[in-house]
Structure 1
Amino acid sequence: MKNLPEEERPRERLLLKGPSALSTSELLAIVIGRGAPGISAVMLSQKIISAFGDLNSLCKVSATELLAFNGVGLAKACQILAVAEISRRLSGAPVLKSQIYSSSKSIYHLIKPHLINKDREHFLVIALDSRRRLIAVDNISIGTISQSIVHPREVFKVAINRRASFIVIAHNHPSGDTSPSSEDLAVTHRLVAVSQTIGIPILDHIIVSDSGYMSFKHEEYLT
């Protein structure tokens, strides 16, 4: 970036005009810091963003994929992944444990940062107290949701250990389609049956994608 006029260098432009004035590639160039022989940090960041399409896709990349770019070593790959993870965590509203989570929408906003921009399915148990205030959000499984992976024992072990009065279960669909699969329905019905025996009701099962969510309760799948 030393070849650019000082007023066009990303770091100097940020100090002069503020971060909102910079393009995504310029912001990424600041994270990268330096380029490599024959390619500036700005050009390298443009190549990376062009390869993955957009920021959402960039949040899903692995270190191996980043290391494939000439000029990206382990340190730069870790810097990019760290910033992507910070961005993902900041995308959610602050978690207020005093807030009452009584609607699917409020639960969705709570768990969205945990489930978007993931390349595999994550299964969460959201433990609530008797007033439906948040106790904890626990990730109990990573991988394709199935009855063998999401076992009632693991779900209700969390619920009991957290002393939950109610729970909500949730998982993501990396495909972007929030429609429940036959396996999703089977797992849910099995968990609901166990919840009725144990006495810790499941209030909802929410499927999240990068574009939105689907509520089992609203769609009347919880029976």
Structure 2
Amino acid sequence: MKDKKILKRVNYWVTIGIVLIICIGTFTWWNNSKKKTPHHKLKPQPALIDNTSTRPASYTTKEFKNLLSQNYPDIYKNLNFKQKPTFYVIPGLIQSAAIKYTPPGQGQPGIAYDMDPQGLAIIDHKYLIISAYSKSKTFDSVLWVLDFKTGRFIKTIALNNIDHVGGIAYDKDHKRLWVATINQYQRAQVQSVTLKEIEKYNFADCKIKLNT
């Protein structure tokens, strides 16, 4: 009889222990599942990459957030600052790698201090493309390529024109970035550059020619 009572007690406490382990395990899993995986912290980019600035030109992130909350409170409260990136830093506003359009140094790599951002397009949620032109018309227009997921600047692409290039759109079916330009007769036209050309482009190769 004593052996049976001892066995019952052992079974009782073993059962309680198993239930507690299951409860603790379930709670731990549930608690961890609620926590979002923190965004991988990327090392700060250099202030310049291939002569193109990557830092904000007007405000620090803190100043930008303050201005945004004051002037656009409805937008600010709907932004998730834990998500990266919540917004993108436009590169090249302080200076940008570019190709000289006018002499001296025509056709040679240089540094433009007057690039004006115009258009924006997203390529397969992989790249963010920003187009810009030289306000003084002394440099050819450019495309700035950013990583869509992290917002990090990748490279500058020099175009073979000085147009505003404000209208850009990605054609997913044909894998082409279409760019609104002007032809030699000052008439509006649309030209394109393939995704393959964008990914392979190296600024050292100078200008990329758009296809009509």
Quick check: TM above 0.5?
A: no
TM-score normalized by structure 1? Answer: 0.27
**1 or 2, which has the higher strand percentage?**
2
TM-score normalized by structure 2? Answer: 0.28
**1 or 2, which has the higher helix percentage?**
1
Bigger radius of gyration: 2
